[in-house]
Amino acid sequence: MPDTARSSTRDASQGKSEIDRLFALQKAAFAREPFPTLETRRSRLDALIRAVEKNEARIVRAIDEDFGCRPRVETLLAETIITVAAAKAAKRALAQWMRPKAVATPLHMLPAKSRLEPQPLGVVGIIAPWNYPVQLALSPLAAALAAGNRVMLKPSELTPNTASLLKEILAAEFAEDVVGVVLGGVETGEAFAEVPFDHLLFTGSTAIGRKVALAAARNLTPVTLELGGKSPAIIDDSADLAKAALSIARGKLFNAGQTCVAPDYVLAPRAKLDATIEALAAGARKLYPEIDTTKDYASIVSDRHFARLKAMVAEARDAGCRIVEIGSSNALHPQRKLPLTLVVEPPARLAVMQEEIFGPVLPVLAVDGPEAAVAHVNRGERPLALYWFGSDAARCDRTLRETVSGGVTVNDTLFHVAQENLPFGGVGKSGQGAYHGEAGFRTFSHMKPVFYQKGPGGALLQPPYTEKTDRTLGLARKLM
């Protein structure tokens, strides 16, 4: 066996051993404390907030090192600020979320009472991606801790500096029987997905999400899958084109397009196709005049992803598509920076129209009216996000009614994800389940139905059956 293969096997074995040890430790701890108090949960959320706030500068540096270049402001906005906001919002609302919810009891069952009592699930697993390696690890962690669970976290191996830092800063605040971090590569991730968690959350690609779901299914582990897909930006004829294009460019180029809810293609009115391209170019130049020298624009995370994006553009160029690059043509290795690259009217068979792009490449297609835009969206898989631009409220409402997507922002991009009180999740192949806010608390809780009997109840309907039983049934029918 080659040394590299032997080393990989040894690392995988060690990773599985560590996963099993940590899982057993957390299961035992949960058995001792199956319902953490409000004070305990708040203290754990405080610990998470401290871990982020005390180490914010280190988080910025680690992510910058992992990407090659990640703007400080983008990391603050999308990683630390949004994570702390999620934890603080959960802490504020936690007493209300934990309170049993009264449920109406039918008249014929009175004077009994019914309610839903939120209960922690147990040990939750979180598999986090590389594109937002702190937010997409710690935001669901906040929800799982608020719900009273123990949590095992597997960060992405593609951001190793951030992964190691997460392990360090969380270990400084939490006992490992409350929060534990498992480091490792693909084999470790596969072993992690096979653990019989009480709930497993995965954020990543649809292809890997399918594998995670299959692994979890062997244990009947419930899963939340935050995936992706091709999220459209629809420009209605009633839109302010300059404002819409600037917003699309901003949403597409934030983190260099390495965002699961980034606009993946644009549908523009046919008569305004050229004007849309010009407006997108103007918006991108306003945001990033020279992408190869500015620190305001992120690098592509790895050579492999950089090559994949370049190959997509090359395929479109070879197919005869019009390619418009907005930015410096010198954005090459080692910075791995790509200009916003518009691909005009690409055929459906090309990779840019078949795969989630996850980078600053943006197909722009012409459509003949709102109905054609809706039909185009509905021909594809259901997207994680949809963006609609315009001032015609009736057309907007119709588009939202006639399309199915994970979430929507109207007249902007990305912001529905930043609204902590809105659930975040996909639909169909873009994901299943949701978190953020109370939706996250419920995802990581069992909403236990409890019926409190106060009257004669079943005693009126038990054998031996008599005429009195028939009268009781008749009365029950009338009261239903």
Q: For 238, how many CA atoms within 13 A lie in the half-sphere containing its CB?
A: 12
Using left for φ > 0, alpha for ψ between -120 and 50, and beta otherwise, residue 322 falls in beta
Per-position DSSP letters for 106-142, written without gaps between them: -GGGTT-EEEEEEEE-SEEEEE--SSSTTHHHHHHHH
Q: Collect all residues with Cβ–Cβ distance below 8 Å to 111 and sequence separation of at least 6.
A: 454, 455
Q: What is the dihedral of CA 67, 226, 430, 387, to 10 degrees?
A: -70
The helix (H) or strand (E) run that includes residue 102 is: strand 101-103
Place of tokens 């236990």: 448
Catalytic choice (74, 79, 194, 226): 226
Beta bridge partners of 407: 385
Q: Give Cβ neighbours of residue 478 (< 8 Å, ≥ 6 apart).
A: none
Alpha-carbon span 381 to 146, nearest angstrom: 33
Residue 324: which of 304, 296, 303, 343 has the closest Cα?
Answer: 343
Say which DSSP state 78 is in: I
Contact 184, 157 (CB under 8 A): yes
**Cα dihedral across residues 333, 313, 131, 328: positive or negative:** positive
Q: Is 341 helix (H, G, I), strand (E, B) or coil?
A: strand
Which residue among 74, 173, 194, 260 is the active-site one? 260
Sign of CA dihedral 378, 272, 233, 348: positive
Tokens for 229, please give them: 């897909």
Find out whether 243 and 277 touch, Cβ atoms under 8 Å: no
> Using an 8 Å Cβ cutoff, are 57 and 169 in contact?
no
Q: Assess whether 69 carries a catalytic annotation.
A: no
Angle (CA) 348-233-143 rounded to 5° is 110
For residue 154, which of 124, 132, 128 has the smallest C-alpha distance? 128
The answer to whether 260 is a known catalytic residue is yes
Whole-number Å distance between alpha carbons of 225 and 204: 8
CA count, 13 A, side-chain hemisphere, 133? 26
Q: What is the CA radius of gyration of the chain?
A: 26
Q: Is 416 left (phi over 0), alpha (psi -120 to 50) or beta?
A: alpha
Q: Tell me the two tokens of residue 211.
A: 């594998």
Catalytic residues: 226, 260
